[in-house]
Amino acid sequence: MHIVLLGPPGAGKGTQAEMLSEAGDLAHVAVGEILRQAIREKTDLGIEAEMYVEQGELVPDEIIAGVIEERLRADDAQKGALLDGFPRNLTQAEFLDQLLKKLGLSLDAVVYIDVPFAALIRRSTGRRICSGCGRVYHVEFNLPQRDNVCDECGGELIQREDDREETVRNRLEVYLEQTGPLVDYYDERGLLRRVDGDQSIDEVFQVLKTMVLESHS
Protein backbone atom coordinates (compact mmCIF):
# COMPACT_ATOMS: atom_id res chain seq x y z
CA MET A 1 0.00 0.00 0.00
CA HIS A 2 1.28 3.45 -0.95
CA ILE A 3 -0.46 6.55 0.37
CA VAL A 4 0.19 10.28 -0.02
CA LEU A 5 -0.83 12.57 2.83
CA LEU A 6 -1.52 16.17 1.74
CA GLY A 7 -2.34 19.25 3.77
CA PRO A 8 -1.01 22.74 4.51
CA PRO A 9 1.71 23.40 7.12
CA GLY A 10 0.18 23.00 10.57
CA ALA A 11 -2.55 20.58 9.45
CA GLY A 12 -1.07 17.76 11.53
CA LYS A 13 0.25 15.62 8.66
CA GLY A 14 3.32 14.51 10.60
CA THR A 15 1.38 13.32 13.65
CA GLN A 16 -1.22 11.51 11.59
CA ALA A 17 1.43 9.98 9.32
CA GLU A 18 3.27 8.50 12.31
CA MET A 19 0.08 7.00 13.71
CA LEU A 20 -1.11 5.67 10.35
CA SER A 21 2.24 4.21 9.37
CA GLU A 22 2.44 2.33 12.68
CA ALA A 23 -1.16 1.10 12.42
CA GLY A 24 -0.69 -0.05 8.83
CA ASP A 25 2.92 -1.28 9.13
CA LEU A 26 4.01 1.25 6.49
CA ALA A 27 7.29 3.11 6.18
CA HIS A 28 6.85 6.76 7.19
CA VAL A 29 8.53 8.75 4.43
CA ALA A 30 8.75 12.16 6.12
CA VAL A 31 10.46 14.54 3.74
CA GLY A 32 10.45 17.34 6.29
CA GLU A 33 12.27 15.25 8.91
CA ILE A 34 14.83 14.07 6.37
CA LEU A 35 15.56 17.68 5.46
CA ARG A 36 15.65 18.84 9.11
CA GLN A 37 18.19 16.14 9.90
CA ALA A 38 20.34 17.32 7.00
CA ILE A 39 20.07 20.90 8.32
CA ARG A 40 21.08 19.82 11.84
CA GLU A 41 24.04 17.88 10.48
CA LYS A 42 25.08 20.80 8.24
CA THR A 43 25.39 18.61 5.15
CA ASP A 44 25.63 20.29 1.74
CA LEU A 45 21.95 19.48 1.23
CA GLY A 46 21.07 20.84 4.66
CA ILE A 47 22.88 24.14 4.20
CA GLU A 48 21.15 24.72 0.89
CA ALA A 49 17.73 23.69 2.21
CA GLU A 50 18.04 25.89 5.31
CA MET A 51 18.12 29.06 3.22
CA TYR A 52 14.67 28.24 1.82
CA VAL A 53 13.18 27.06 5.12
CA GLU A 54 14.18 30.25 6.97
CA GLN A 55 12.39 32.32 4.32
CA GLY A 56 9.26 30.18 4.52
CA GLU A 57 9.74 28.90 0.97
CA LEU A 58 9.51 25.36 -0.38
CA VAL A 59 12.76 23.49 -0.93
CA PRO A 60 13.43 23.05 -4.71
CA ASP A 61 12.42 19.82 -6.41
CA GLU A 62 15.94 18.82 -7.39
CA ILE A 63 17.01 18.72 -3.73
CA ILE A 64 14.12 16.44 -2.76
CA ALA A 65 13.68 14.08 -5.73
CA GLY A 66 16.74 11.89 -5.10
CA VAL A 67 15.92 11.60 -1.39
CA ILE A 68 12.49 10.14 -2.14
CA GLU A 69 13.74 7.48 -4.54
CA GLU A 70 16.41 6.34 -2.08
CA ARG A 71 13.85 6.16 0.73
CA LEU A 72 11.33 4.11 -1.25
CA ARG A 73 14.05 1.60 -2.12
CA ALA A 74 14.91 1.05 1.57
CA ASP A 75 14.17 -2.34 3.13
CA ASP A 76 11.50 -1.04 5.51
CA ALA A 77 9.50 0.45 2.62
CA GLN A 78 8.99 -2.83 0.79
CA LYS A 79 5.64 -3.51 2.48
CA GLY A 80 4.40 -0.06 1.58
CA ALA A 81 4.92 3.58 2.45
CA LEU A 82 3.11 6.68 3.59
CA LEU A 83 4.52 9.82 1.98
CA ASP A 84 4.34 12.84 4.27
CA GLY A 85 5.29 16.17 2.68
CA PHE A 86 5.74 14.88 -0.87
CA PRO A 87 4.69 15.59 -3.55
CA ARG A 88 4.23 19.34 -3.04
CA ASN A 89 3.64 20.45 -6.63
CA LEU A 90 2.63 19.01 -10.00
CA THR A 91 6.23 18.47 -11.11
CA GLN A 92 6.90 16.34 -8.03
CA ALA A 93 3.61 14.47 -8.55
CA GLU A 94 4.66 13.56 -12.08
CA PHE A 95 8.07 12.48 -10.78
CA LEU A 96 6.38 10.27 -8.18
CA ASP A 97 4.16 8.70 -10.87
CA GLN A 98 7.23 7.85 -12.94
CA LEU A 99 9.18 6.56 -9.93
CA LEU A 100 6.38 4.28 -8.74
CA LYS A 101 5.93 2.96 -12.26
CA LYS A 102 9.66 2.24 -12.48
CA LEU A 103 9.48 0.36 -9.17
CA GLY A 104 6.36 -1.54 -10.26
CA LEU A 105 4.19 0.25 -7.68
CA SER A 106 1.14 2.53 -7.68
CA LEU A 107 -0.73 4.90 -5.37
CA ASP A 108 -3.68 3.49 -3.42
CA ALA A 109 -4.97 6.79 -2.06
CA VAL A 110 -4.19 10.48 -1.59
CA VAL A 111 -5.61 12.03 1.58
CA TYR A 112 -6.05 15.78 1.99
CA ILE A 113 -6.31 17.08 5.57
CA ASP A 114 -8.31 20.30 5.30
CA VAL A 115 -7.90 22.98 8.00
CA PRO A 116 -9.09 26.64 7.93
CA PHE A 117 -6.42 29.29 7.31
CA ALA A 118 -6.92 31.02 10.68
CA ALA A 119 -6.58 27.76 12.60
CA LEU A 120 -3.35 26.94 10.77
CA ILE A 121 -1.80 30.28 11.76
CA ARG A 122 -2.82 29.77 15.41
CA ARG A 123 -1.38 26.27 15.47
CA SER A 124 1.96 27.21 13.90
CA THR A 125 2.67 30.50 15.66
CA GLY A 126 1.88 28.96 19.05
CA ARG A 127 4.52 26.26 18.68
CA ARG A 128 7.56 26.40 21.00
CA ILE A 129 10.68 24.24 20.77
CA CYS A 130 13.10 23.31 23.56
CA SER A 131 16.50 24.79 22.75
CA GLY A 132 18.12 21.85 24.52
CA CYS A 133 16.43 18.60 23.49
CA GLY A 134 14.08 19.76 20.74
CA ARG A 135 10.84 18.70 22.43
CA VAL A 136 7.80 20.49 20.98
CA TYR A 137 5.24 22.44 23.05
CA HIS A 138 2.33 24.77 22.24
CA VAL A 139 1.07 27.86 24.04
CA GLU A 140 -2.55 26.60 23.81
CA PHE A 141 -2.51 22.84 23.37
CA ASN A 142 0.63 21.52 25.06
CA LEU A 143 1.98 23.75 27.82
CA PRO A 144 5.06 22.86 29.92
CA GLN A 145 4.69 22.56 33.68
CA ARG A 146 6.76 25.75 34.14
CA ASP A 147 6.57 28.75 31.81
CA ASN A 148 9.15 28.56 29.00
CA VAL A 149 10.98 25.64 30.66
CA CYS A 150 11.19 22.17 29.11
CA ASP A 151 9.76 19.35 31.23
CA GLU A 152 12.38 16.92 29.90
CA CYS A 153 15.70 18.74 30.21
CA GLY A 154 14.98 22.15 31.75
CA GLY A 155 16.02 23.94 28.56
CA GLU A 156 14.60 27.27 27.44
CA LEU A 157 11.63 27.17 25.07
CA ILE A 158 11.99 29.26 21.92
CA GLN A 159 9.90 30.13 18.88
CA ARG A 160 11.60 29.02 15.67
CA GLU A 161 12.07 31.63 12.98
CA ASP A 162 9.84 29.67 10.61
CA ASP A 163 7.03 29.66 13.22
CA ARG A 164 6.74 33.46 13.35
CA GLU A 165 3.49 34.84 11.92
CA GLU A 166 4.99 36.59 8.89
CA THR A 167 6.91 33.47 7.89
CA VAL A 168 3.89 31.23 8.54
CA ARG A 169 1.63 33.38 6.35
CA ASN A 170 4.21 33.36 3.57
CA ARG A 171 4.59 29.59 3.84
CA LEU A 172 0.82 29.09 3.62
CA GLU A 173 0.55 31.36 0.58
CA VAL A 174 3.37 29.46 -1.13
CA TYR A 175 1.63 26.20 -0.26
CA LEU A 176 -1.71 27.27 -1.69
CA GLU A 177 -0.08 28.49 -4.88
CA GLN A 178 2.19 25.50 -5.52
CA THR A 179 0.55 22.58 -3.73
CA GLY A 180 -3.11 23.51 -4.08
CA PRO A 181 -3.32 22.26 -7.70
CA LEU A 182 -2.42 18.75 -6.46
CA VAL A 183 -5.89 18.48 -4.96
CA ASP A 184 -7.46 18.83 -8.41
CA TYR A 185 -4.77 16.61 -9.97
CA TYR A 186 -5.51 13.65 -7.70
CA ASP A 187 -9.24 14.34 -7.55
CA GLU A 188 -9.47 13.99 -11.34
CA ARG A 189 -7.74 10.61 -11.06
CA GLY A 190 -10.19 9.38 -8.46
CA LEU A 191 -7.54 9.04 -5.75
CA LEU A 192 -8.36 11.99 -3.49
CA ARG A 193 -9.98 11.58 -0.08
CA ARG A 194 -10.81 14.67 2.05
CA VAL A 195 -10.69 14.79 5.83
CA ASP A 196 -11.79 17.61 8.16
CA GLY A 197 -8.58 18.37 10.06
CA ASP A 198 -10.13 20.96 12.38
CA GLN A 199 -10.89 18.42 15.10
CA SER A 200 -8.92 16.45 17.68
CA ILE A 201 -5.94 14.28 16.74
CA ASP A 202 -7.79 11.10 17.73
CA GLU A 203 -10.90 12.06 15.79
CA VAL A 204 -8.89 12.73 12.64
CA PHE A 205 -6.98 9.49 13.07
CA GLN A 206 -10.12 7.38 13.40
CA VAL A 207 -11.49 8.87 10.18
CA LEU A 208 -8.19 8.26 8.38
CA LYS A 209 -7.90 4.72 9.71
CA THR A 210 -11.36 3.82 8.44
CA MET A 211 -11.00 5.71 5.18
CA VAL A 212 -7.56 4.44 4.18
CA LEU A 213 -6.36 1.37 6.08
CA GLU A 214 -9.60 -0.53 6.57
CA SER A 215 -10.93 0.21 3.10
CA HIS A 216 -7.76 -1.20 1.53
CA SER A 217 -7.27 -4.19 3.84
- What is the pLDDT at residue 216? 61
164 given a catalytic annotation? no
171 given a catalytic annotation? yes
Each residue's pLDDT tens digit, 177-188: 888 899 999 999
Each residue's pLDDT tens digit, 72-119: 888 989 889 999 988 988 988 998 999 899 889 999 999 999 999 899
- What is the pLDDT at residue 207? 94
127 given a catalytic annotation? yes
Q: Where are the domains of the chain?
A: 2-115+178-216
Which of 123, 128, 171, 193 is the catalytic position? Answer: 171
User: Helix (H) and strand (E) counts for the chain?
Assistant: 9, 8
What is the average pLDDT value for the chain, to the nearest integer?
A: 89
Each residue's pLDDT tens digit, 115-146: 998 999 998 899 999 999 999 999 988 899 99
- What is the pLDDT at residue 60? 84
CATH topology of domain 2-115+178-216: Rossmann fold (3.40.50)
Which of 71, 88, 123, 128 is the catalytic position? Answer: 88
How far does CA 148 lie from the centroid of its chain? Answer: 26
Query: How buried is 108 (Cβ within 10 angstroms: 0-12 exposed, 13-18 middle, 19+ buried)?
Result: middle
Which of 123, 127, 128, 193 is the catalytic position? Answer: 127
Which of 135, 160, 164, 169 is the catalytic position? Answer: 160
The whole-number average pLDDT for the span 182-202 is 93
209 given a catalytic annotation? no
Query: How buried is 110 (Cβ within 10 angstroms: 0-12 exposed, 13-18 middle, 19+ buried)?
Result: buried
